[in-house]
Structure 1
Amino acid sequence: MARRAVLDSATMLRRDMRHMLRFPLMTVSGIAFPCLMLLLFTYVFGAAIGGGGLGGYVNYIVPGILMMAIGGGGAATAININEDMSEGVIARLRTMAIPRIAVLAGQVAGSLIRTAASLVLVVGVALLVGFRPSASFLDWLAFSGLALLVIFAVSWMCAAFGLVAKTVAGANSASLLFQFGPFVSSAFVSPDAMSKGIRWFAEYQPFTPIIDTFRALLTGTPLGTTWIAAVAWSVGLSLVGILWSRAAFLRLPSR
């Protein structure tokens, strides 16, 4: 049974990759948005927010931009799944002898590949505008592992959004949480510079520990115990996303 689920998931992954090659605009826009945010905050707001030192500010904001790129990848997953629902693809798959988890696992695997590739491109653009990481090989390895875990969590949450949303626009709107949520975190300014209520929220939501851990691994800032919260949030969101997606998939009406 497990082998069959893996094989069927691989089949769904191939379908997702072919869909991406046939309609590349969504992938391109998912990469372009964080790159535009990087350029905007570096060259338009950087001198004001960063205290006049663009070099240090670029190093500060890149981890937050990477989190936004992960959110963009999740949005594509939500939209793809909702489109499959509206076009009757998932309804047809539900009538076939395919493990239920494989239908969604293939989409999530595709999201992992697309989003990981987008992170590489965003880092490349960041290097061109002055990003200078001080990470060692082990730091890069740890960053890659955490990034994949975060992508996995966001992809499953967005898969659930895609299943429960009534329209493609609704699926996209729900997934904006992961694209714009980093604005109320440590992505662009320290929570210490925020007003009291917003600072409390910024410190105790999932984006801040994830971004702070990215920043510590890439730029050598103190890691402390933030990585524990980052991993815990990622694992928790993964479990919620998987269980929610499975329950929503099983509740879909047969057509």
Structure 2
Amino acid sequence: MKSHALVMLRRNAKHIARNPTSVFNAVLMPIVIMLMFVYMFGDAFDVGVDYIDYATPGLMLLAVCYGLGSVATSVNADVTKGIINRFKVMDVSRGAVLTGHVVASVLTNLTAIAALVGVAFLLGFSPSAGLSEWLGIAGIIVLLAVAAGWFTVALGLSAKSPETAGLATVPLVMLPFFSSAIVPAEKMGPGLRQFAEYQPFTPIIETVRGLLNGTPAAGDVIPALIWCVAIAVIGYAWARSTFTKRA
């Protein structure tokens, strides 16, 4: 099982490296968005601190979502083109096929976030986090990346074609924009403010923001962990069920 998963991981990593569009969307696009918001719109937002310090946590979580379209497309292509059936003939573990996609997605996310944080420091990002806070940030990001990965794999398996699989991830990509990633939720209008406050990404972003400031709040941490675990469990169960039906 473990060796099968490593083989599937290498396979997915090679596919990602050979697809410049997926690399751009996953790694470079979050940096482009950061430059756009910091330089073009940063002065328009009154957030009480330097805008780069406010926006970086949200953009880190946004980076988790930007490569998901290629993951869903790749998963769906494996099913619709009969590649999964070839793996079955070769006695490759079914779980390894799905796990390979998820782990490749997580590693891509971590690469994108590392690049994003590096650019943020060049732009003046100055967090107050110590070692323990950075470890907490890494933990919550990995947990979210795993949860988003399994949910995306489930979306890819459920779609009828690679094109619709890619489109199915658009709400996940857009959801962080309707959270506290760019501006505080309390500055939004009625309706949108309530949506931002109660959707999954806001407590996760506020947890990362609190850890970077050295002041994490239990009121954000607990909902963030609950959301991440719930999404991971739902995505995993949905993916395994759909995979069994389609493979």
Q: CA deviation at 1:98?
A: 2.5
Query: Aligned partners of 1:73 and 1:230: how far apart in 2?
Result: 21
Identity %: 38
Corresponding residue for 1:127? 121
Corresponding residue for 2:240? 246
CA contact (8 A) 1:165 1:171 kept: yes
CA contact (8 A) 1:112 1:148 kept: yes
CA contact (8 A) 1:12 1:106 kept: yes
Tell me the TM-score normalized by structure 2: 0.94
Query: Aligned partners of 2:29 and 2:103: how far apart in 1?
Result: 22
Aligned: 1:35 with 2:31: yes
- CA 1:222/1:23 → structure 2, altered by over 3 Å: closer, same or farther? closer
Q: Give the ranges of 4+ consecutive aligned residues of structure 1 lying more than 3 Å apart after TM superposition.
A: none
Secondary structure, in 3 states, of the residue corresponding to 2:180?
A: coil
Query: Aligned partners of 1:185 and 1:109: how far apart in 2?
Result: 26
Q: Which moved more, 1:119-128 or 1:77-86?
A: 77-86
Query: Aligned partners of 2:197 and 2:53: how far apart in 1?
Result: 20
- CA 1:188/1:158 → structure 2, altered by over 3 Å: closer, same or farther? same
Aligned: 1:159 with 2:150: no
Corresponding residue for 2:43? 47
CA deviation digits over 1:5-38, x for unaligned, max 9?
2221111111112222333431233212111111
RMSD over equivalenced CA pairs, Å: 1.7
Corresponding residue for 2:219? 225
AA at the equivalent of 1:72: Y
CA deviation digits over 1:196-244, x for unaligned, max 9?
2111111111000000011111133552321111111000000001000
Corresponding residue for 2:54? 60
Secondary structure, in 3 states, of the residue corresponding to 2:169?
A: helix
Tell me the TM-score normalized by structure 1: 0.91
CA contact (8 A) 1:156 1:238 kept: yes
Secondary structure, in 3 states, of the residue corresponding to 1:179?
A: helix
Uncovered stretches (5+) of structure 1, i.e. residues with no partner: none
- CA 1:20/1:222 → structure 2, altered by over 3 Å: closer, same or farther? closer
Aligned: 1:175 with 2:169: yes
CA contact (8 A) 2:130 2:214 kept: no
Aligned: 1:118 with 2:112: yes
Query: Aligned partners of 1:142 and 1:186: how far apart in 2?
Result: 20
Q: CA deviation at 1:146?
A: 0.8
AA at the equivalent of 1:244: W
Q: CA deviation at 1:72?
A: 1.5
Query: Aligned partners of 1:22 and 1:190: how far apart in 2?
Result: 39
Query: Aligned partners of 2:233 and 2:116: how far apart in 1?
Result: 28
Q: CA deviation at 1:83?
A: 2.3
Aligned: 1:198 with 2:192: yes
Number of equivalences: 247
